[in-house]
Amino acid sequence: MGSKIGILGGGSWGTALAMLLAQKEYEVHIWVRNESQAEEIRVDRTNAKYLPGISIPKNIKVSTIVKDVVKDSEIVLLAVPTNSVREVLESIGDVVESGQIFVNVAKGIEMRSMKMISEIVAEYYPNNGFAVLSGPSHAEEVSREIPTTVVSASKSKEVAELVQDIFSSPTFRVYTNPDVLGVELGGALKNIIALGAGISDGLGYGDNTKAALMTRGIYEMSKLGVALGAEADTFSGLSGIGDLIVTCTSMHSRNRRAGILIGKGYTMAKAVEEIGMVVEGIKTTEAAYNLSKSLGIEMPITKEIYNVLYNGADVRNSVQKLMSREKKHEMEIVASLKSW
């Protein structure tokens, strides 16, 4: 039996990773808030709301007591929604030990502080190792052992490689990257573009439109990322363009599905209600829009999606605004350096 790993959050991603680790014979414990969900996992070995049709191995333990799951765990996996991370971190302080490593798999920006999860963890546990695990990885497919690749990012090479070793399997390939901020931002910002791709689908637009959204979307993502201190190359990797592709094109994506509903005329609130789970891209859109304003960065796609979500803008008018913007060179920096 391998060392203990504590997973905080029993949603689809937390459960899928628990299954992956249990198969590798780690001692896996999941924390969930709801006793009825814990009982379903414990007795029926299912988590029907989040991973329907999947049988959960018997060697995965579940608890509603978060400190029991954290205590003595080599890895503490943060798999709760972004805006719940701070509350969870505050609740476990008296059992966290300096040798434990936090691994985040949530994708978003905290609304009240505009901080990434790496920064929030550092506030509470600055002496603990930290890594983010991100990339094109739908939980539904990982739980069915469909080949998947992700990236482990940490400022510490040793931590990044330890996480790589722990999570790697014949169907789950893990690369490493030192650019924590870039990997976190890629995972968060692509959800905004996935909402836009879904809205486009809901409006009945075609592949041309989606390709344009994705291509210009990755440009917006990297522009904001570089301004915040991330490496531009990271957005060309698994946590950037890779995650963007899978989230914009798959019906596993909650963000794309919510966008489809909005494109069909649903309100933001009604779309979220219909999805029945957290749609991270909605809050991330507000966070990214506010960041772009404070930094003076032009992010037209993000701005129009923000206006649709929060100002009730008509989606077709927003598309028209994007299409009729001032003419530009595709590669603005290149154009400024060359003369024709």
Task: Return the active site residues.
Answer: 190
| Residue 25 identity (one-letter amino acid) | E
SS3 179: coil
For the chain, what is the largest distance between any 2 Cα atoms, rounded to a whole number of angstroms? 70
Count of Cβ atoms closer than 10 Å to residue 57 Cβ: 12
Sheet of 60-63, strands arranged across:
60-63, 27-31, 4-8, 75-78, 101-104, 129-134, 148-153, 172-177
Question: Rounded to an integer, what distance in angstroms lies between the CA atom of residue 135 and that of residue 28?
Answer: 22
In angstroms, the CA 7 to CA 70 distance is 8
**318-324 own/partner pairs: CB under 8 Å, 24+ apart:** 319/200, 319/203, 319/205
**Contact predicate 243/186, CB 8 Å:** yes
Do residues 188 and 147 make contact, with C-beta atoms less than 8 angstroms apart?
Answer: no
Neighbours of 77 (CB within 10 A): 29
**Burial grade of 320 (CB within 10 A; 0-12, 13-18, 19 or more):** exposed
What three-state secondary structure class fits 94?
coil
Neighbours of 187 (CB within 10 A): 33
- In degrees rounded to 5, what are phi and psi of residue 30? -110, 135
Question: What does the DSSP 8-state code read for residue 104?
Answer: E
Could you tell me if 121 and 110 are in contact, meaning their C-beta atoms sit under 8 angstroms apart? no
- Which amino acid is located at 282 in the chain? I
User: Residue type for 155, please?
Assistant: K
